[in-house]
Amino acid sequence: MDLLSELRAGCGELGISLQQSQYDRLLEYLQLLSKWNQLYNLTAITQPQKMLSHHLLDSLSLMPFLLNANKILDVGSGAGLPGIPLAIAMPETIWVMLDSNARKTRFIRQAIAHCGLQNAQVVQSRVQDYHAPDSLDFIVSRAYAPLAEFCNSVAHLLGPKTRLLTMKTGLRPEEAQQLDNDSFLIEEEMITVPGIRETRSLVTITPV
């Protein structure tokens, strides 16, 4: 099965329907990531089918949880994950990708231009130094940091309706216990990503 067919099938399993132009952009992003990775070591995954499942589909698995959002911050975006795939799939949503690494933000900037994304921007900064000009609906991360560290690092960005989403390979009880349960409500939902056998979960953190 070619990459386009695998991407279509994977999105179907996730309950996601996209336009052909969006599928094309997602594969263009993957091709660009593969090209840059040869020089800049952006990801340890190099096999195209595995990049599709572990990067594209893994990122897109968040989409059903982000519907009706206006502005989303992707913290520790790295190679633009999950922000770039979700910005392609959610053109009505504004995405800000934040990373302190100059090499990675340079790639994200190139990916935004290459894919013609009008709803995405990148900021090179430590999250503790970043101040959002507008209120955020969601702050997302992809294995960025333990829960307590994640919540503490973005505390200054939380608005009255901001929710945090972080992708995990399973939430350990001791990690959850390190978070102040009087200040945050924690919910974990197991998710299945096509092509990935490892455990995947999505942790939603709501300030109370």
Q: How confident is the model at residue 175 (pLDDT cuts 50, 70, 90)?
A: confident
Q: Domains in the chain and their CATH numbers?
A: 3-207 (3.40.50.150)
Please report the pLDDT score of residue 194 as a whole number.
96
The residue with tokens 């992003």 is 29
Torsion-angle region of residue 80: left (phi > 0), alpha (psi -120 to 50) or beta? left
Q: Name 73's bridge partners.
A: 96, 139
The residue with tokens 């959610």 is 90
Q: Looking at residues 4-30, what average pLDDT do you find?
A: 97
Q: How confident is the model at residue 8 (pLDDT cuts 50, 70, 90)?
A: very high
Q: How confident is the model at residue 1 (pLDDT cuts 50, 70, 90)?
A: confident
Q: How confident is the model at residue 183 (pLDDT cuts 50, 70, 90)?
A: confident
Peptide bond into 82 cis (omega under 30): yes
47: helix, strand or coil? coil
Q: What is the pTM of this model?
A: 0.95
Q: Looking at residues 35-60, what average pLDDT do you find?
A: 94
For 63-95, how does the pLDDT look when each residue is reduced to its tens digit (9 = 90+)? 999 989 999 999 999 999 999 999 999 999 999
For 120-157, how does the pLDDT look when each residue is reduced to its tens digit (9 = 90+)? 999 999 999 999 988 999 999 987 788 899 999 999 99
